[in-house]
Amino acid sequence: MRIRGFFVFIGALWLTALPSCGGSDSTTPIPPGPVTPTPTTTATTTATQPLPPPPPPPPPDQATVQFLTFRTARWPAGGREFTLGVLDGKTRKPIAENLSTRITVTPKEGITLAIAPRTVAVGYTAVLLPPAMPKTDRATLAKAIGDYAATRTGEFIALYRHGAQTQLASGFLKDRYELTEALARWRDGTDDASPVSLSTAVSAVVSDVKDIGGEGRDVMRSVIVLAGDPGVVGVLHNDAFVVGSPTTAAGLTAAGAAIDEVRTKAFYRVSACAKPEKFDANFQVTNLKGDVKATFSATLPEETAGACDVSKIDTAKRTYTPTIEFVFNDAQRAAHAARIAAATPPVDVIAAKADFDLQIRLAPGQPVVTAKAHLRGNGTLTCARKSYVIQLPGSARYLLPDAASDEYYLISMCDDRAYSYGSTAFTLFADDLFPIKHRFVELVIDGQTRGIYRLMEKLREGLQRHNARVSAVMRRGYPVAGRDAYEVVYPQTPVDIAAALKRWTDFEAEIEPLAGDPLVSTVKEKMDLDQYTRYLANQTILQCGDYPDELYFLGTEQANGKGQVAETYRIAPWDPEGYTPCHSGGNNAWPDAWGLAYCAEARLDFKILPDPTIYGMFVANIEAQLNGPFTQAKMSDALTATKTALQAMLVDPALCAANTEFKSINAGYADCAVSRTIVQQRADQLLTAYNARRTVLLNNIAAYKAK
């Protein structure tokens, strides 16, 4: 500005020094000779004054930012944790500058912030297919998507079809088998004549992506829109990173790179201490346009005590309560005692499993909260140490890593010797067969420790959180009158229960007369056959003598490639039992000439395992699992993790004495050193059993291949 003013001033002096020239039409010539002042003219000489400097130029337009808000979590004493992404609103790329000191919240009163860059973990990505393509281009794109997905290790990838409706073609999975089959259906399918608008399709996919995994998962959430021209994806969303991609392999690679760049460079952990009441606020970036609304959820009653410290708010370092306590008043104590009495033979199941009121202390030193609970279990209902479902009031609680819920299981593990097998199996099943989160806690009832329990997400609700567009959840029971029995646990209205059962029995009737390729293709249309045979492979590796009734079938919507939606099923194991004898010496199991199937008693197994193609899938999965998730090293690591967690708790004599199931193993179990030895020996026994089973299976696989 000073330089410009200087040149204006010199220019003014230069103009006054110029000789007069003939004017234009608007200029009068100056006559020659002296000029005599008139009475109204003052004959004085004044110095030429400089012109005032021009006004400063207007400031450049401020850039606009786009925010990504993937997660909000509560912490004690008014603490909140926000996962906040900041993108350039025009380029949708991370802003290179560290914005930690420029992120603000309004209103500011009573809020303390601590902000730092962070990397968000790999998470969920949905791929939205284009609504129309020539057949040859479909084949090329289907291959490109499959190749791309194979490079995205650890990422849950789903496929969506853009048509007259936005349909789920395959769910959010790390395994790519179902994705490959969905791509084949789309490749060989047809276009919709009247697809919904792109913005409508994208919004429908984002709606699924933002909810998948539940509010506890702190991970990346993305949508890849295969729209030909990525510039046409004119949709901004706070709940997922939406990136457009050309329908080429290079476009997909670029989209993946964009996701990783945002995941690693655009996010901040915003730690806040604020008033305990719920209120709304706005996040902004100084000198940039745009804001995003943030809801500061109310601090829960048990969290109000203590002082909030922003420096301690960090998901990676968050600790979880070692103890959950039931507290009763006289009426509540009597109701609980009545439930226990009803669970004593002869059992009154309805009375035993009725809800009762109680107060729960969710961590040592916290005030109690009013809640509800009920006993759970079938075969374990009569155990001395009961299992429970607890139902907490208000917002979800963060009692498990990567999970938040208002309902939890407390499993006594009374049928799991030394409490060692079930948690190990669930760990080995994680993310594929069993996404439910779990860990060990101590349960205290009326001031008395009841020993070690497994705290878990509630199964049905957990499965619904981890899957999109769920249509049914059914638990399989033992065969009745020559058919597998199923209990529908979702949906829960009589009409919907009947409809869900009919869809399944119609499928059973459809495959009953089939064999060969028609059987294989029909089964694949109804269920994730690779996952089911992988589950059978796991059960034979673990030598489970009781799995037919320990299995949930999860129905979801699935596009058939031709505009219609069908129901397809995946499965989730429950109540695992390993290295146990088969019922009746195996007399009710499918007779496998190759000795690979173990205790396959379900009628579905009797139908599909005799088929050579499906049996080949089963054998291939045994081998793949032995060389993948169920290697000797991984089995050993999982057992070690379980053993270490249990032994760390077995230090308090009262707690050790409360684990009464240990008594059948060693009468001196109340001595914590003895209890720790019991756990060590059980882990060793399980590893020995695994190694023996592995040898048998590898020999039998070799014989099968040599046939």
For the segment 171-176, the average pLDDT, to the nearest whole number, is 94
285 pLDDT more than 70 = yes
Is the CB of residue 224 less than 8 Å from the CB of residue 149?
no
- What is the token pair recorded at 217? 């998962």
Tell me if residue 371 falls in helix, strand or coil.
strand
42 pLDDT more than 90 = no
Is the CB of residue 280 less than 8 Å from the CB of residue 296?
yes
Is the CB of residue 191 less than 8 Å from the CB of residue 164?
no
Is the CB of residue 201 less than 8 Å from the CB of residue 156?
no
What confidence tier does 58 reach under pLDDT thresholds 50, 70, 90? low
Is the CB of residue 81 less than 8 Å from the CB of residue 116?
no
pLDDT at 24: 37
pTM over 0.85, yes/no: yes
Cα 487 from chain centre: 26
Tokens 């008033």 belong to 275
Tell me if residue 82 falls in helix, strand or coil.
strand
pLDDT at 40: 39
**Strands (DSSP E) found in 219-341:** 219-226, 241-245, 267-273, 279-285, 291-296, 323-327
Task: State how beta strands 438-445 and 323-327 pair.
Answer: parallel
In tens, the pLDDT along 253-270 reads: 999 999 999 999 999 999
CA distances from residue 173 to 54, 178, 461, 529 in whole angstroms, order as listed: 64, 8, 18, 14
pLDDT at 52: 74
Tell me if residue 406 falls in helix, strand or coil.
coil
pLDDT at 234: 58
Residues sharing a CB contact under 8 Å with residue 192, sequence separation 6 or more, in sequence order: 131, 132, 163, 164, 563
- CA Rg, the chain, in Å? 34
In tens, the pLDDT along 602-636 reads: 999 999 999 999 999 999 999 999 999 999 999 99
What confidence tier does 51 reach under pLDDT thresholds 50, 70, 90? confident
Cα separation, 582 vs 595, whole angstroms = 14
For the segment 673-687, the average pLDDT, to the nearest whole number, is 98
Cα separation, 304 vs 285, whole angstroms = 30
**Strands (DSSP E) found in 24-144:** 65-75, 79-88, 103-106, 112-118, 121-128
Cα separation, 94 vs 72, whole angstroms = 21
Is the CB of residue 538 less than 8 Å from the CB of residue 630?
yes
For the segment 361-382, the average pLDDT, to the nearest whole number, is 94
Q: Which amino acid is at 4?
A: R
Please report the DSSP string for 206-222 in residue order. Answer: HHHHHHTT-TT--EEEE
60 pLDDT more than 70 = no
pLDDT at 301: 87
pLDDT at 63: 86
* Closest to 110 measured CA to CA, from 278, 236, 268, 275: 275
Residues sharing a CB contact under 8 Å with residue 84, sequence separation 6 or more, in sequence order: 67, 68, 69, 103, 267, 268, 269, 270, 283, 292
What confidence tier does 231 reach under pLDDT thresholds 50, 70, 90? low
Q: Where is mean pLDDT largest: 42-51, 225-234, 324-333?
A: 324-333
Cα separation, 691 vs 636, whole angstroms = 10
Tokens 């853009």 belong to 162
41 pLDDT more than 70 = no
For the segment 381-387, the average pLDDT, to the nearest whole number, is 96
* CA–CA–CA angle 52, 55, 57 (5° rounding): 145
Tell me if residue 530 falls in helix, strand or coil.
helix
Cα separation, 475 vs 485, whole angstroms = 8
297 pLDDT more than 60 = yes
In tens, the pLDDT along 110-168 reads: 899 999 999 999 999 999 999 999 999 999 999 999 999 999 999 999 999 999 999 99
- What is the token pair recorded at 166? 């936005």
* Closest to 323 measured CA to CA, from 359, 357, 366, 356: 366
Is the CB of residue 214 less than 8 Å from the CB of residue 405?
yes
Show contacts of 56-64: CB within 8 Å, 24+ apart. 56/1, 62/287, 62/288, 62/289, 63/88, 63/89, 63/90, 63/288, 63/289, 64/89, 64/90, 64/288, 64/289, 64/290
* Closest to 4 measured CA to CA, from 47, 60, 53, 42: 53
Cα separation, 636 vs 433, whole angstroms = 19
Cα torsion through 256, 258, 260, 261, rounded to 10: 160
- What is the token pair recorded at 364? 């040592």
In tens, the pLDDT along 205-219 reads: 999 999 999 988 999
- What is the token pair recorded at 50? 């400089």
- What is the token pair recorded at 305? 């005590």
Cα 101 from chain centre: 30
DSSP designation for 64: B
State the angle between helix axes of 672-705 and 529-541 in degrees (0 to 180), rounded to the nearest 10: 120
**What average pLDDT is seen over the chain?**
90
